[in-house]
Structure 1
Amino acid sequence: MKTIALISQKGGAGKSTLARQFSVLAGEEGPSWIIDRDPQQTSARWHERRQDGDTPPEQPGLIDLGGTTLTAAVAALKAQPGTLFIDTRPAVTEPEAEAARLADLALVPVRPSLDDLEAIGATLDMLRRVKTRTIIIINAAKNERRAIEARAALSVHTAAVCPHHLADRAVYLDATVAGLGVGELRGAAAVAADAELRRVWTWIMKEAAE
C-alpha cells in the first residue's frame, strides 16, 4: 500500500480537504483509506457524513487507531493494495515526523499568501531531515497570477512544486458538508473543481512513479 502524508505547520492550508478529495480519486482505482491524526477530526467527521446515505460509497475507508500506534497500523497495511492517506495536525513535531517517516510521499499544501509562503520553511526542513519525498501543492489560489507568483517564490526550495494549482472554490465547502468528493456533486462548479483536482492528482502520481 502506498502511504501519503498530508503535512503542514500552517493551519488552514488544506491538508484535510486534500486528504479527503484525493482519497476519493484514489478509491476509483483501488482501496483507499484515511487515518485522521488531527485532534479536530475533520476528516473523520466528513467520513461519518459520507456513511449517512442509503448506499454509502465504499471508498475511502476510515481507520481508527484506537490503542494502536500509527507505525503499527501502517506496517499492518503495507502488504495490501491501495493508498493510505494520513491527515496530520498543523504542526511539525514528533507525531508529524512519524507520519512523514512512514510515508512514501509527503504532500504539503500551501496557500499563495506571504504568511503561508514564509511559514512553509519549517515543514520542509522537517521533511528533509526525515528524508521523505515531498511535493508542494498550491491550494486555494484566488487567481492564476497569484499561483504563478507563489510557484516562483517556492522555487528556492528543493522540494518539487506541482505545476498545477487548485483554485479557491466554495464547492469544496459544499463537498465537506455533504461528505462527498467534488466529483460526486452536480453543477458546473463541481465539474471545474473535479477537473483541476484530477489534473493535480494525475501529475502527483506520475511524479511519484519516477
Structure 2
Amino acid sequence: MSARIITIAQQKGGAGKTTLAAHLAVAWAKAGRSVALLDIDPQASITAWADIRRALPDAPEQPDIRALTGWRVAGEVDKLKKQFDVLVIDSPPHAETEARVAVRVADLVVVPVQPSPMDLWATQATLDLARQEKTDVLLVLNRVPPRANLADVMEQAAAKLGVKLAKTRLGNRVALAAALLDGKGIAETAPSSVAGREIAALAKEIYKAAKN
C-alpha cells in the first residue's frame, strides 16, 4: 500500500482550508478508504474538532486524526503511507518549515480560494512554495455565492498563473460548519444535501488527480 498524500494549503486566511481538510477526510473514509488526517497547523482547529468527534457516543474510528509538529511530518508520513489509502495534511498558514515539508511530501497540494481575483492573487505565495517543491497544485473555488458569474474569469486567471482549477466548486454552505460543530463531516450528517454532493464530487476529483 502506498497512500495518496494530499496537503491542503493556503497562506491567505479565511479561505476554508481546515474546513475542507476535515470534510474531505471524512468523505474518503465514508467511501471505504482508510484515511489519516494530520494536523500540523499551530491553530490546531482539526485537533479541536477531533476532541469533539472522539467524545461522540458512536465515535467513528475513521479518519485517524493526529497532531504533529513540523519536524516530525516527513518521518511520520513515510511511515503512515504504508498503512493508509489517503493521508490528508492540514498545513500551517505560512511558508515556514512545517508548511514547506507538508508541500514537499505531497502528491497534490489542494489550495482553496474564494471566487475573487484578489483572493486568487493572494494565493501567489502558496503557489510559489508548491513550485519550489515541484508539487502539483489544484485550486478549488470555495464559498461560491449563488449565481456567481466569476467562474470563467477565475479559470482564465488560474490559467495565467499556470495552475489547474478543479471542476467541482463549493458553495457557501452553512451545513459544512454545522457538521463540524457536531464533530462530524457532511458525508456523515447530510450526504444527500447539496453540500454533501459537492464534497463527494470534489473528493472523487482530488483522489483521481492525486494518483501517485
Taking structure 1 as the reference length, the TM-score comes to 0.91
Q: Which consecutive unaligned segments of at least 5 residues does structure 2 have?
A: none
Shift of 1:147: 3.3
**Contact 1:141–1:147 (CA under 8 A) maintained in structure 2:** no
Q: Post-superposition shift, 1:78?
A: 2.3
Q: Distance in 2 between matches of 1:50 and 1:193?
A: 20
1:164-203 matches, cutoff 5 A: 164-186=168-190, 191-203=193-205
> Aligned equivalents of 1:67 and 1:108: distance in 2?
19
**1:59 positional shift:** 0.8
Inter-partner Cα distance in structure 2 for 1:186 and 1:57: 16
Q: How far off its partner does 1:68 sit? A: 6.7
Match of 1:126 in 2: 129
Q: Give me the whole-angstrom Cα distance separating, in 2, the residues matched to 1:70 and 1:31.
A: 19
Q: Does 1:41 align with 2:44?
A: yes
> How many angstroms apart in 1 are the aligned matches of 2:81 and 2:123?
29
> Where do residues 94-109 of structure 1 align in structure 2 (5 Å cutoff)?
94-109=97-112
* Structure 1 unaligned residues grouped into runs of 5+: none
Q: Which amino acid aligns with 1:147?
A: A
Aligned-residue CA RMSD (Å): 2.0
Q: Cα 1:48–1:148, aligned 2, differ >3 Å: closer, same or farther?
A: farther
Cα offset, 1:170, TM superposition: 0.9
1:20 alignment partner in structure 2: 22
Counterpart-to-counterpart distance in 2, 1:57 and 1:169: 23
Native 8 Å contact 1:107 1:134 kept in 2: yes
CA offsets 1:130-154 (integer angstroms, 9 cap, x no match): 0011111111111341334322322
Aligned to 2:9: 7
* Structure 2 match to 1:137: 140
How many residues are treated as equivalent by the alignment?
208
Matched residue, 1:115: 118
Distance 1:185 1:81, change over 3 A: closer
Q: 2:80 matched to 1:71?
A: no
In structure 2, C-alpha distance between the alignment counterparts of 1:186 and 1:76, rounded to whole Å = 33
TM-score normalised according to structure 2 size:
0.90
Q: Deviations over 1:15-52 (max 9, x none)?
A: 10111001001112221111111111111111111112
Residues 111, 138 of structure 1: 8 Å contact kept: yes
Whether contact under 8 Å (2:15, 2:142) holds in the other structure is yes
Counterpart CA distance in 1 for 2:125 and 2:170 is 23
**C-alpha separation in 2, matches of 1:64 and 1:43:** 8
Q: How far apart are the structure 1 equivalents of 2:181 and 2:36?
A: 20
